[in-house]
Amino acid sequence: MDHLDLLNAETDRFIAAVRQTDGAAPVRSCPDWTADDLLWHLTEVHAYWAAILGTGAVTDQESEAVEAAKPSRPDDREATIALLSEGTAALISQLAARADEEAAYSWFPTDQTVGFTRRMQVHEATMHRVDAELAAGLPSAPISPEVAADGIAHGVEVMWGWWGTNPGFEFRPTSGIVELRASDGASWLVQPGRWGGTGQSGKEYDEPGAVLADEGNPAATVDGTVEELYRWLWGRGGEPAASGDDTALAALREARDQGMQ
């Protein structure tokens, strides 16, 4: 997977879709956002991570300084697009100059590396490109099976799995395993359950989630192409064909319904 080519191409597709959308149009896959909000979000994201890498930030304090120095939101849409293009070029330049194993701040405590940003930003740009197409009412461009397969694993391991990075939080299975079966690729065993623990404020948490399982006999299956599975897990597509134990499927859907932005 050429992450930098993908990041550049997906951002270009995103901009093309945004330009065909009224700025006030709702983004149905990102509740409460308009198309212009979506545009500004991706602009902020690329500028932020380019600055994280460019400044060598590795601590929370350094990342907060980067956040405080972020650019102001322009009033003009084309100015925002220009800022996005500038931030994308800067992000790609920073990623091209660094190896995956180099230390860098990330919001995922157990992976503080450049590689985390490289992987995350491909999925961020891809999914927000899909958001822009949905807002514009455009046919959605295909996603390569390689990106989709990595996105399924990333979705479970990281986007849902961050609960497990909290000290003292534990995962409790609540049902049988669900197998995600891609007709054009691999399969994944997913164990639905709940994350529980006490936050730093003393608040008790009991949240739906799921983890990848190394082995086990699935109680239920979800079947589709790898792209269909990816889009569904990330909340940008309908549920593929599901069969088997209703409790296991309901638990997986509850984890999925938390959403990913």
Report how far residue 170's alpha carbon sits from residue 131's, in angstroms, rounded to the nearest whole number: 33
Q: Which helix (H) or strand (E) holds 194?
A: strand 187-198
Buried b (16+ CB within 10 A) or exposed e, 155-184: bbebbbbbbbeeeebebebbbbbbbbbbee
Q: Is 68 exposed, middle or buried (0-12, 13-18, 19+ CB in 10 A)?
A: exposed
Give the mean pLDDT of 117-137.
97
Give the mean pLDDT of 250-255.
96
Complete domains list, the chain, with CATH: 3-136 (1.20.120.450), 146-256 (3.30.1050)
- The pLDDT of residue 261 is 57
pLDDT in tens, 186-223: 999 999 999 999 988 999 999 999 999 999 999 999 99
Report how far residue 12's alpha carbon sits from residue 115's, in angstroms, rounded to the nearest whole number: 22
- The pLDDT of residue 89 is 98
- Distance from chain centroid for Cα 146: 15
pLDDT band at 258 (very low <50, low <70, confident <90, very high): confident
Give the mean pLDDT of 44-48.
98
Report how far residue 91's alpha carbon sits from residue 73's, in angstroms, rounded to the nearest whole number: 18
The mean pLDDT value of the chain amounts to 96
Query: For residue 234, is pLDDT > 90?
Result: yes
φ, ψ for residue 41 (rounded to 5)?
-60, -50
